[in-house]
Structure 1
Amino acid sequence: MTAPAITIGSTGEAARRAAARPRRFGALYVFEHRLTLARRTWTSNVVPAIGLPLLYLFAMGLGLGSLIGGGAGSAGSGTHDLGGVSYLVFVAPALLTASAFQTASEEFIYPIRLGFKWNPTFLGMNAAPLSPGQIIDGNVLYTSVRIAANSLVFFVLMVLFGAVPSGWGILSVLAAVLTAVSFGGPLVAYITSLDKDASQETLVLRFIVMPLTLFSGTYFPLSLMPIYLQWIGWISPLWHGTQLARDATYGLGEPAWLIVVHLLYLIATFLVGWRIARRLARKKLNK
């Protein structure tokens, strides 16, 4: 048989067709890349996703909860004012959102820094028919899916511990994911903006992530803090997400307008950070 003649024009057309799909669905290719890498170390993801929630719920919910006073959730019982619920019910949704928050702080720091600087795979992706924006989108998508899966496992354990009295409790998983991406948007923008290594990642974890975890009404009501420290919670995505999770799991009783404020704050913070991250990635990779 005579092989078909190959011309430069036909080769160029074939290349354009081959590149059309990655250009259209580039974020999904980046998501697949991250998923493939995660499969190689799946035990390091699965074991903490189950073990850490168990430890948190046992230690904070049952252990510390029994010392605080356990039941009535009133000022006279030593639990101050927890809204008439036990400390376990009060703290469980906060632990859920805090877990998502901390996972986001790691996933939006080290893999992004790795791809841009330490092992610049993003340069290779950008040399292929993938745009910088698709690279950012794929990483955000993968992290969101991973956090959603981890949060769902956490929620199931909360149900088993009896920490979800409301039938709307499953919405706390959505609150956890919103919390994670709300913090992740600005964080990814900051990490993308970095050029030199000066331990910025460690500084973020120590002086932003840790204080926000402690001062966002996670382990006690924000109202118990001095007024000059409460502003930290007001600007923290973790506080807004925790309040939404508590509204879902046991009915915190917040007015509807405040719930809307929580949602809008989380969505707006993510969108602003995400848009900036895409613009910075384009400037960095298209030099």
Structure 2
Amino acid sequence: MSSREESERIHSAALASAVAAAARTRRYGSWYVAEHRFRVMGTYAQTVLFTAIGSPLVYLYAMGVGLASLVDGNVGANALTGVSYLVFLAPALLASSAIAVASEEFTYPIMLGLKWNPTFFGMNASAIQPGQVINGLVISVAARMLLTCAIYYVFMLVFGAVPGALGIVAVLVALLTGLSFGVLVMAYTITLKDDTGQLAMVQRLIVLPMTLFSGTFFPLTLLPPYLQWIGWISPLWHGTELSRVFAYGMSEPLWLSLVHVLYLTALLAIGWIWCRRLTVRRLNK
């Protein structure tokens, strides 16, 4: 074989290998992005675990045990909701933990990948598609969120806050709640060219009021009618109410439970599609 033929053979083999690698990347691009995010999360894994363990321990004890003893002692156990205050509050705290992960992972890490350390543009320069970038981000955050909610649920069991036989389903409800809110936050973050305090405002003007007015600490019906609409449009309220149905068998009409599921699923689908379209525009400019 001549040197020219050998060179052509090597070139053809290299080209075939590159084509195969590109095809594999196009097929598994979402998982490659998720793997990248898992590696990034590994750099602050201690914080993730400390938060996942510390938050339920502190909140369930302080709010569910400390505050619960005052509430039950003053208004009477089971007086407001038919169950102890700890049992009433725990599913809401579980759903809130998913919201907290979403508001953390779908804000500054997105700005990092788009502007401060634009790795998403590097991914887009390869065979990975913009939509796969979004898919990978959602997969990675869902994994962290599921871990956080699972640990939270274990502490709920330890504190005796899950009398219902289907309580474990509340973990999946919390996951759906966190993702349905998170993709909307991510869509907003993708539209930002610079962070001049907008993401901090999301925490102060959206997450905090949503937590206070979503039936988290008391039934939504105790709010004045002109404030109850905040809960009706809040993913946290829908997630909390559905979690309570599974956690301790809260009584509500079947149609309302279906509304919770459909509303959260619709938010997730709309937000996910919106993020993919915005990312195509942002990365291909």
| TM-score bucket (shorter structure) | over 0.9
Is 1:216 aligned to 2:214, yes or no?
Answer: yes
Matches within 5 A, 1:1-287: 5-7=6-8, 8-69=11-72, 77=76, 81-82=80-81, 84-287=82-285
Per-residue CA shift, 1:195-215, capped at 9, x if unaligned?
233211011111011110111
Gaps of at least 5 residues in structure 1 are none
One-letter amino acid of the counterpart of residue 83, structure 2:
V
Moved more, 39-48 or 207-216: 39-48
Gaps of at least 5 residues in structure 2 are none
TM-score (normalizing by structure 1): 0.94
One-letter amino acid of the counterpart of residue 150, structure 1:
T
How far, CA to CA, are the matches of 2:15 and 2:191 in structure 1?
36
TM-score (normalizing by structure 2): 0.95
The verdict on how the C-alpha distance between 1:47 and 1:196 changes in structure 2, with shifts beyond 3 A counting, is closer
Q: Are 1:158 and 1:164, in contact at CA under 8 Å, matched by a contact in 2?
A: yes
The verdict on how the C-alpha distance between 1:220 and 1:19 changes in structure 2, with shifts beyond 3 A counting, is same
Q: How much is the aligned-residue C-alpha RMSD, in angstroms?
A: 1.8
> 1:24 deviation in Å?
0.6
Per-residue CA shift, 1:74-95, capped at 9, x if unaligned?
xx6287521x100000000100
How far, CA to CA, are the matches of 1:277 and 1:37 in structure 2?
21
One-letter amino acid of the counterpart of residue 37, structure 1:
V
How far, CA to CA, are the matches of 1:213 and 1:240 in structure 2?
12
> 1:252 deviation in Å?
0.7
SS of residue matched to 1:167: coil
Per-residue CA shift, 1:132-155, capped at 9, x if unaligned?
100011011100111001100100
Q: Are 1:62 and 1:88, in contact at CA under 8 Å, matched by a contact in 2?
A: yes
Count of aligned residue pairs for this structure pair: 282
> 1:2 deviation in Å?
9.2
Q: Are 1:70 and 1:87, in contact at CA under 8 Å, matched by a contact in 2?
A: no
